[in-house]
Amino acid sequence: MSSEPTALTAAADDLPPYVHDALRREATDLLVATGLVAAGNVTLVTPKPNIPADLAFPVFPAAKAAGVNPNEFAQKLAGAITPREGGLFDTVSAMGGFVNFAVAPDRFARAVVEGIFARGDAYGEDKSVGRGEKTVVEYSSPNIARKMHVGHLRSTVIGNSIRRILLALGYDVIADNHLGDWGTQFGTLLAALDQWKLSPWDDPDPVQSLVEIYARYNNAAKEDPALMDAARQWFKKLEDGDAWARETWQKLIDITMAEFDRTYQRLGVAFDTTHGESYYEPMLDEVVQEAVDKGVAKVEPDGAVAVDFGEALPSYLLRKTDGATLYQTRDVATCLWRWREYAPARNIYVVGAEQKLHFAQVFETVRRMGYPEIADRSVHISFGAVTDASGARFSMRKGTAIFLDEVLDEAVERAEATMREQIAAGRSEVTEAEIGPISEMLGLGSVFYADLYQGPERGIRFDWDKMLAFDGNTATYIQYTHARCRSILRKAGEDAAAQVAGADLSLLTEPEAQVVLKHLARMPQAVREAGEKFAPATVADWTYNVAREYARFYDKCPVLRAETAELRAARLALTAAVAQGLKNGLALLGIGAPEKM
C-alpha cells in the first residue's frame, strides 16, 4: 500500500495513523485471519450511503477463483470473523456477496476527533507520499505587456491549489511562473514604440497603454504589411542583443511585473521561480543544434528547422526561416533545463487544453532527443477555455475580454453588499471595520471556487451570477459553515478549549454526528487522491460535503443547549474538529476561512 507510514514520518511526528487507514488495515487483518482469503486479494470499497456499513469487501473475484457461490462465501467469511475487542469495528455481516464492516460509533468518534486535534492545521497532510521528491509545477504564466484576464485565472488558481496539495503530501515543490516575455509580440511593441516615438512609461496605467499600442499596431499592420516585417525584424534584433531593444524590453517587463506582483499578492499566490521564456533564450541555439545532430530535427532548404514525427504527430518548427526561434523551441529548452537542473520526479504544466498537441510534441521531441526520463515525468494538466454567455471565446482584440481586476472587484462588492444586508437584519457579528477584509476573503473565495469545484477538462461558460452565487455548492457556503462553527465556539465561553479538551467523545453516537465524522475521516484519502490526479476538485468536494453534513447536524442537534453538560462538551469538540477540517480544506484550495461573516 502506498499509504504505508514510513520510518521517516514515524520518527518525525509519532502520531497515530489516520482513522481511514486504520479501518482498512483492521478489516484486512480480520479477513486474512480467517485463512480463507489472502492479503493480496483484499480490495475494500466504501459502501453506498444506504448500506448500513462503513467498509465492504466484495467477494466475487475470490469466490470465482475458489469456484464457490459468492453469497455463501460471504456468509462463511462473516461467520468466521469476530471483531477485535476494543477495535474500530463492532459488527461484521454478509449481504449479497459483500462482507460488511460497521464501526463502533463511540470508538470511531474518539479516534476521528482525537486524530484531528492531534494534527491541527496539519490534518489532511501526509508527508510520506511525496518523501521530499522534487516536483516542478508551472502555472499562471501570463504575457508581459498584457493585462491578466479571466483566462489566466484558471491556470493561476488551479496551479496554486495543486502546489498547496503537493506540499501537503510532502513533495519538494518548485512553482514556476513561465512568463511570456519573449517572442514576436515584443518585436511588435518595439516596432510601435520606435516608429511612433512613444513613451508610455509614465502613463497613469502604463500596461493598459501597452495593450492599446499593441492592438493599434496590429490593426495598422493589416493595411501595411511592411509594419509586420518591421515587427519581425525588431524581434530578431532583440534576440541578437541590440542595446535599445534589450533596454526597452526590460522596461516592459518591469512595469508589467509591478502590476502582476500586486495581483499575486492580492490572490495569495506564490512562486519559487519566475523564469520567463527569455530565461532559456541563451540555450536555444544549442538545443536546436542538438536536435539536428541527433537526427530529430532537419534543416530545410529555406533554412527553417522542423521536427517530423512521421505518422505519430504533426510536424512543427524549431526555427523560422529568418533564424528566429518559436514558442516550441523555448519549451523544449525549458523541459531539458528542468531535467538537468532538478531531475524532478514530476514536471507539471497547468496550461489550457488548446495546447495539448503542443505539449505532446514537446515531450515527444525530448524523448527522441534521448531524454525519455523527463518525457515520462512530464504531464500537461489541461483545462477547458472560459467562454462568454454565447459560448464564444473572450478576445482581447475584440475588447470582449474580462480583466481579472474587474472580476475580483465585482466579487468583493457583491460579497460586501450581501454582508451589509445580513448585518442590517441582525444576522451577522461583523463590525464596520471588519467588512473590508472579510468581503475580500469571501469575494476571492467565490472566484477561486468557481474554477476549482469541477474537473478541469470541461470548459467554463462565464456567468457572473453563477460564479458569484453564494448558496449551495459554493465557497461562501463552506466559509459560512466555518464562521458558524467559530461563532459557537466563541459563545461557549472563555474556557471553550478546556471544555473541548475534556470532552467525552464517545457520546457522539447520533446518526447525524456519525455522518459528519465519516466525512471528516476521509480527508487524508481525498488529499492523496487529489495529489495523484492533480485534481483540486477532489478536495473541494470533500470540503463541501463536510460543510453540508455539519449543517444538518447543526439543525438537528443543539450544541450550546445540549441536554447535558457532557453532551454539550462532546458536540463542541465535534464543532471544533469540523472548523479545523473546513479551514484545512479551504487552505488547500487557496481560500481563506473567516471567523465571522
At 163, the amino acid letter reads R
Kindly give the pairing relationship between strand 297-299 and strand 305-307. antiparallel
Give yes or no for residue 487 binding RNA (CB under 7 A).
Answer: yes
| Piece in contact with RNA (CB under 7 A), picked from 7-15, 77-85, 160-168, 452-460 | 452-460
Considering beta carbons, is residue 119 or 541 the nearer one to RNA? 541
| Binding to RNA, residues 5-64 (CB under 7 A) | 45, 47-48, 50-51, 53, 56, 58, 60-61, 64
Q: Please choose, from the candidates 39, 328, 346, 323, the residue with its C-alpha nearest in 3D space to the C-alpha of residue 165.
A: 346
d(CA 308, CA 586): 46
Out of 461, 462, 504, 506, name the contact with RNA by CB under 7 A. 461
Query: In b/e form, how buried is each residue of 76-114, taking b as 16+ CB within 10 angstroms?
Result: bbbeebebeeebbbbebbbbebbbbbbbbbebbbbbbbe
The binder of RNA chosen from 20, 484, 518, 583 (CB under 7 A): 484
From CA 237, how far away is CA 101, in angstroms rounded? 72
Q: Which of 279, 480, 534, 536 binds RNA (CB under 7 A)?
A: 480
554 binds RNA (CB under 7 A): yes
- Strands, sheet with 297-299, edge to edge from the N-terminal-most edge strand: 297-299, 305-307, 316-319
Cα torsion 430, 434, 436, 441 to 10°: value is -80
Residue 327 CB: number of other CB atoms within 10 A?
17
> What is the C-alpha to C-alpha distance for residues 161 and 183, in angstroms, rounded to an integer?
29
Which residue in the set 128, 156, 185, 525 belongs to the binding site for RNA (CB under 7 A)? 185
For residue 236 the three cell numbers come to: 530578431
Residue among 582, 596, 466, 594 at smallest CA distance from 121: 582
d(CA 122, CA 583): 11
Does the protein bind RNA through residue 304 (CB under 7 A)? yes
Contacting residue, 137, 419, 507, 526, with RNA by CB under 7 A = 419
**Between residue 350 and residue 389, which ones bind RNA under the rule CB under 7 A?**
353-358, 384-385
Instruction: Tell me if 390 contacts RNA by CB under 7 A.
Output: no
At closest approach, how far in Å is the CB of 355 from RNA?
5
Site track for RNA across 233-272, x = CB under 7 A: --x-------------------------------------
Of residues 134 and 461, the one with the C-beta less far from RNA: 461
**Grid cell digits, residue 337:** 533545463
Q: Is 437 in the site for RNA (CB under 7 A)?
A: no
Q: Which residues contact 288 (CB under 8 A, 6 or more apart)?
A: 297, 305, 318, 319, 325, 329
CB of 506 to RNA, least distance (A): 20
Residue from 340, 397, 398, 458 touching RNA (CB under 7 A): that is: 458
* Closer residue to RNA, CB minimum distance, 169 or 483: 483
430 lines the binding site for RNA (CB under 7 A): yes
How many chain residues interact with RNA (CB under 7 A)? Answer: 102
| C-beta closer to RNA: residue 9 or 509 | 509
| Distance from the Cα of residue 260 to its chain's centroid | 20
How many residues are given for the chain?
A: 597
Q: What is the DSSP string of 136-195?
A: EEE---PBTTS--BHHHHHHHHHHHHHHHHHHHTT-EEEEE---B--SHHHHHHHHHHHH
Please report how close the Cβ of residue 423 comes to RNA at its closest, in angstroms.
Answer: 8
Q: Which of 18, 24, 78, 100 binds RNA (CB under 7 A)?
A: 100
Check residue 428 for interaction with RNA (CB under 7 A): yes
CB of 64 to RNA, least distance (A): 5
Q: Is residue 454 near RNA by the rule CB under 7 A?
A: yes
Nearest distance from residue 464's CB to RNA, in Å?
13
The residue among 82 and 321 lying less far from RNA, judged by its C-beta, is: 321
Cell 505532446 identifies what position?
A: 360
Query: Nearest approach, Cβ of 67 to RNA (angstroms)?
Result: 11
Q: Which is nearer to RNA, 113 or 488 (CB)?
A: 488
Q: Does 412 bind RNA (CB under 7 A)?
A: no
Write down the least CB distance from residue 136 to RNA, Å.
Answer: 19
Binding RNA by CB under 7 A: which of 193, 537, 577, 579? 537
Distance between CA atoms of residues 42 and 59, nearest Å: 9
Site for RNA in 312-351 (CB under 7 A): 314-317, 320-322, 326-328
Distance of CA 133 to the CA centre of its chain: 18
Among 81, 269, 557, 574, binds RNA (CB under 7 A): 557
* Minimum separation from the CB atom of position 568 to RNA (A): 8
Q: By CB under 7 A, is residue 418 in contact with RNA?
A: yes
Q: Which of 369, 475 has the CB closer to RNA?
A: 475
By three-state DSSP, how is residue 103 classified? strand
